[in-house]
Chains A and B, each alone.
Chain A
Amino acid sequence: MTTPMLEIRNLHVRIEEREILKGVNLVVPKGEVHAIMGRNGSGKSTLSYVLAGKEDYEVTEGEVLLDGVNILEMEPSERAVAGLFLAFQYPIEIPGVATMTFLKAALNAQRKARGEVEISTPDFMRAVKESGKQLNIDSEMLKRALNVGFSGGEKKRAEILQMALLKPKMCILDETDSGLDIDALQVVSNGVNSLRDGERAMLVITHYQRLLNHIVPDVVHVFSDGRVVESGGKELALELEAKGYADFDSAAA
C-alpha cells in the first residue's frame, strides 16, 4: 500500500481547557478528493487550523502524517513548504502588504525549500496572470493590499489563486463555496478541478451538497462533535442533505 497523502490518527485537541476534537481518524490517499460535512461548531475549522499549525490549540493526543511525515511539531511555514495548503474559511485582511509582494514571497519560499532559485519577475507576472484569468480575477484587485477591501467572493477566489500558484500536494478547502455566487462557484470549482491529478489530494469542507456536484469527491465524511462518525461515497452527501445531521449524531454517541 502506498503512503497516504494525509493520515490523521486519533487526534485530540483542546482550546482553553475545552476539548474540541475528540479522536479524529481520517486517511486521504494520494490523488483523492475527500469531503467533510458537519454542523456548525462541530470542529471542522478547528481541524483545518490544527493541520495548518495555528497556535492556541493544544494537541493532547494523536498524530498527523503528511506524506508519511509527522507534521505536528512543525511551524506553519514548514508545513506549507512541505506541501500543505489551507484555503481559509475567513481569509485575513493584511493592510500594508501588497498582494503581489505577498504572492511572490510565498512562491519564493516554496522554491527556496526545494532548492530552486527565485522566480524571475516576468515569469511570476505570467503565472499570476494565467491563474488569475482562469479564476476571473481582475488584475486591479491584485494591486491592492492583501485581501483588503476584497468582497467575500473575491477573497475566496484569491485563496484558490494562491493554491494554483503554490501547487501544494495536500489542499484543505474550508467552506470555499460559502459566499460565492453561482457563476463564481463554477469558476472556482473549475479552478480546483484543474488541480486534480493522480498525486494531489484534497480535503473539502462544506455545508452544501451543491459544491460536490462540481467538485465530485471520492469519499464523504460526516463530522460530528469533534470526530468523523460516518464515511461513504458521494451519495452520503445526498443522504445528509435529505435527512439532516440528527441520524448521525446517534452514531457519535
Chain B
Amino acid sequence: MNAIVRLGPAELTLIEQLKNLGAHAEAERLTAAGLPTRRVESYHYTDLKALLRSVPELGTAGGAGAPHFDIPGTWRVAIVNGAIGSPIGAPHGVTAGTVSGSVLTERDDMLVRLNSALTQQSLSLEISGDIAEPLVIDRQFAGEAAHVATGAKIFVADGAKVTIVEVYSGSEAAHLGNHATYLAIGKGAEVTHITLNLMDKAATHFATNEYLISESARLRTLAIQAGGALSRTQLLPRYVGKGAYADITGLSLVGDGQHADITMDAQHAVPNTSSKPLFKSIARGRSKAVVQGRLVVARDAQKTDAKLMAQGLMLSDEAEILTKPELEIYADDVVCGHGSTCGRLDDDHLFYLMARGIDKITAETMLVRAFLAALVDPIENQSLKAALTGVIDGWLENA
C-alpha cells in the first residue's frame, strides 16, 4: 500500500462528498486506496476505477414518485432520490418506519463502505404473519443525474410469509445509486425477495443485499439486472440456523454498452443448510456479464448441500460472459459443487421449431424463455410473475 494512488475524477468527487457528510475516515481510506481495480480479487472483472468515470452530485429530495413499473395488487413504499416516502396503508402485519444511518454489516468492500458512509436514513419494515400482498420498495431517481445511497432494513418474524419486490428506476440521466438491503428471516419463515434494476442506460447501479437465514427458513431471491451502463448486485446470504434453505438466483440482461455483475458470497455457518444458487446471463451487442459465486462452508457446517450453477447465453459475437465460481470448504462432510455453461442458442433447436412454421424471431424468443424458465417459473404470485415476464419480453423485443 505504499505506492501512490493516482485519483481520478470519480474518486475525487466521492472523497469530496464523504467529507461534506463528515465521513472523514472513509474519505481518508478512499484517498489512500482509490476505488478497487482488477487487482482486487472480488473486482477482477469489474474494475471500478476504470469503469466509474464520474460521480454526479449527491441527490436532493424531490419528485412525487409515481411508479415507473407498476405491479397490480401490491403495497408500495417509494424512496425518491433517497428520501423515504411516508408509508401509508401498510397491510396488517407490516410495520413500516425509518431508522437512522445505514443497514449493512461492516465489511471490507468498497461499495458496502460507501453505502454505509453515505446513507443518512433507511427504511425499516417489520413483518409478521402471512402477507398476501407483495410489498414493493420502489427506489426512484428523479430529475438531473444524482448520486444516491439508500438502505432498507427488513425483519421477517418467525413463521411469517412474504414477498418483497425492490424496483430501481429513474429519469433518463447518468444517476449513480448505491443501495443496501438487510433482510433478516426468522425461524421457519418463507420469503421471496425480487430485485429489479430498470435504471436508465446511462446510469450506474450498485446494490448489496445481505440475508440472514434462520433455522428452517426458506428464501427465494431473484436479482434481475436489465438497466444501467454499469451494474453490480452483491448478494450476501448467511445461513445461520439448521435447515436454512435458499434458492439464490440472478439474471443479467445486457445489451450494447452495458456491463452487469452479480457477485454472491454465501456463508454456510451451521450444519444442515442448503442452497441452490443459479445465475443466468444473456448478452447481446457489445456487452459484458459477470457472475462471481463464492460458497464458504465453515468447519462446523457439516452436511451442507450447496450447488452453484452459472449459465450464459450469448446472442452476439461481441458479447462476453465471465464466470468465476469459488468454493471454500472447511467442513469434511458436505456436498458442494459448481458448474457453468455458456453458449449460443442451439441451431438444432432453432431448426426444429422453424421446421414447424415458427418464424426465426419467435423461435428464438421461445428458446430464450425456455432458458429462463427455471428462474421465473417458481415465482408463485401470478401478477408478479406476469410483470417480470413482461420485463424480460420487453428486453427481448427491443433488440
Residues of A within 8 A of B (CB): 52-55, 75-77, 79-81, 85-86, 88, 91-92, 94-97, 101-102, 105-106, 109-110, 113, 145, 162, 166
Judged by a CB distance under 8 angstroms, whether B355 is at the interface is yes
Cβ contacts under 8 Å, B386 to chain A: none
CB proximity of A55 to chain B, nearest CB, Å:
7
B360 within 8 Å of A by Cβ? yes
What are the interface flags for B355-374 relative to A under an 8 Å C-beta threshold, 1 for contact and 0 otherwise?
Answer: 11111101100110111011
Contact B353 A94 (CB under 8 A): yes
* Contact pattern, B 340-364, Cβ under 8 Å of A = 1, otherwise 0: 0000000111011111111110110
CA distance A53 to B357 in the complex (A): 11
Give complex CA distance A52, B354 in Å: 9
21 contacts between A and B (CB under 8 A): A52-B351, A53-B354, A54-B355, A77-B363, A80-B354, A80-B356, A85-B355, A88-B352, A88-B355, A94-B353, A95-B370, A96-B369, A97-B367, A97-B370, A102-B356, A102-B358, A106-B353, A106-B357, A109-B359, A166-B356, A166-B357
Contact B366 A101 (CB under 8 A): yes
Cα of A102 to Cα of B355 in the assembled complex, Å: 12
Q: Mark B366-399, 1 if CB is under 8 A from A, else 0.
A: 1101110110000000000000000000000000
B15 vs chain A, min Cβ distance (A): 48
Q: Would you call B357 and A94 a contact (CB within 8 A)?
A: no
**Secondary structure of the B contact surface, majority rule:** helix
Query: Which single member of B351, B356, B371 contacts A162 (CB below 8 Å)?
Result: B356
Which residues of the other chain, B, contact A106 by a CB distance below 8 angstroms? 353, 356-358
Kindly list the 8 A-B residue pairs having the minimum CB-CB distance in the complex, ordered from nearest. A96-B370, A80-B357, A109-B357, A106-B356, A76-B354, A92-B352, A77-B354, A96-B373
Contact A86 B367 (CB under 8 A): no
Of B347, B353, B373, the contact of A102 (CB 8 Å cutoff): B353
Asked if A102 and B349 make an inter-chain contact with CB atoms under 8 angstroms apart, the answer reads: no
B residues within 8 A CB of A55?
A: 347, 351
Partner of B349, one of A52, A54, A92, A105: A92
Does B351 contact A81, Cβ atoms closer than 8 Å?
no
- Which positions 208-259 of chain B face chain A at CB distance < 8 Å? none
Whether the Cβ atoms of A94 and B355 lie closer than 8 Å is no
Question: Apart from A81-B357, A96-B367, what are 15 other A-B pairs with CB-CB below 8 Å?
Answer: A52-B355, A76-B354, A77-B355, A85-B355, A92-B352, A94-B349, A94-B370, A97-B353, A97-B369, A102-B353, A102-B358, A105-B353, A106-B358, A109-B356, A109-B359
